[in-house]
Amino acid sequence: MNLSRRQLFQRGFVAAGAFTGLESFLRCGWAAEAAAVEGVVATPIGFGDLIPDPAGIFDLPAGFSYRVISRAGERTERGYTVPGQFDGMAAFPGPNGHVVLVRNHELDSSQAALGPFQSRMPEPAICYDNGNEISPSQGGTTTVVYDPTTGITIRQYLSLAGTTRNCGGGPTPWGSWISCEETTEVAGPVKSRNGAAYVNAQDHGFAFEVPASAAIRIAEPIPLRAMGRFNREAVAVNPANGLVYQTEDSRDGVLYRFIPTTLGKLHDGGRLQALCLPDFKGDTTNWNKRDVAVGDKLRVTWVDIKDPLNNPAQQARAAGAARFTRGEGIWLSGERLWFICTDGGKRRKGQIWQLELYNKGNLLSLFCEPDDEHLLENGDNLTQAPWGDLLVCEDAVGNDVDPGQHLVGITLSGRPYHFGRNALNASELAGICCAPDGKTLFVNIQSPGLTLAITGPWKVISL
């Protein structure tokens, strides 16, 4: 049987020596298994081949199915419109077994045609930036209440209004969603983007806390200023001590840690810090040469940032913080935190880092860097599946060598496999998250804006 490189990957096999991409597998921590044999030895992972979807929306392995539970353009409660550009998302428990999804919308002030204010303008009390009543910021969040037993969407409502380019974020242990603005635009005169004029009445680049409520509950649009102002992506909150870890989507970004003054009350302020690697003198991007290899353990320290509102990454790097290129998705489980650098590696196909949060000191290691678009191409949003593996959304729009944006599973030994594929278009996938009972998986197709609920024969498969 002769299988192509793509077929080997789609069937979820490690094939040592079967093709020239072996080095890519070794970079993902497969060396021990690959070196144990000669020739072709197949070790199955994943759930099998992806089956083409007759509806042409989303391909999944045999036995799995999806339901479209929310679409951009639908009417929300209180007369707003479900905005487009679906992005980061989290799932929370609701009453009667329902799931409460809080979902970002990566829209800026110039994208009124995709925004929530199609039928009515925002109420002043709920809108962070009304654009001087000319062009209210179109980003924010919507909340979707879903009944997984019946497959019915109970309600949808606008839960954060007047913010811009809400890209990533993260859930808190106390039942809220932190929504992050991926921009550092400032208040100022009228501007134009794509032929549309707009104005900002507020500075942007902040995180906002949104309650996860099945009943209509709109967030107070108060920025979490002490957590910093920068080109934000995602956050992960440690339930043990309330520390908030934050990624920055910049090629000169850093990894942040926020120490709140009061556990569970982020508006009370706190200290912003950045990660340092005091014993490492190389370049974490690995763009020009492999300064750090998969599995290397690097000692971590943290440095305070004096002014969180004034280019905190520049301050952090001047104080010795490590640079991480285009930090995106982040997820914490126990003492292990993973975060993605979407264009790290020699071929700029992405890296996944692992931070071990020990009481006596943190250790950082490069968890996965395949440098192979057939394995992982520009990962973005990230979560951990109920069966233990990581699940990563690809965002390789405009640079997609392996056609189709994939939902990629990665075992905790660093082995990738395809779990799903956007069959509808070239749009990125986003918002990957799991229902609290672990029985339903949710993911967004960013454009034209679809949220899918996926069910199937979940099982423990990690090796």
> Could you tell me the two tokens for 247?
């990624």
pLDDT for res 134: 86
pLDDT for res 414: 92
pLDDT for res 16: 27
Residue 236: DSSP 8-state: E
pLDDT for res 398: 58
3-class state of residue 396 by DSSP = coil
Peptide bond into 122 cis (omega under 30): no
Pairwise CA distance, residues 379 & 168, whole Å: 13
Residue 203: DSSP 8-state: -
Q: How far apart are the first and last CA of the chain?
A: 25
pLDDT for res 447: 97
Query: Exposure of 121 by Cβ count < 10 A (0-12 exposed, 13-18 middle, 19+ buried)?
Result: exposed
The mean pLDDT of the chain is: 90
pLDDT for res 44: 73
**Ramachandran bin of 201, using left for φ above 0, alpha for ψ from -120 to 50, beta for the remaining angles:** alpha
pLDDT for res 400: 55
Whole-model pTM? 0.91
pLDDT for res 30: 36
> Could you tell me the two tokens for 438?
């672990």
**Ramachandran bin of 439, using left for φ above 0, alpha for ψ from -120 to 50, beta for the remaining angles:** alpha
Q: Where are the beta strands (DSSP E) in 212-318?
A: 232-237, 244-248, 256-260, 270-276, 298-299, 301-304
Residues (pLDDT < 70) of the chain are 1-43, 397-402, 460-463
CA atoms within 13 Å, Cβ hemisphere of 231? 13
pLDDT digits (tens, 9 = 90+) for 369-406: 999 999 999 999 999 998 899 999 999 865 555 678 99
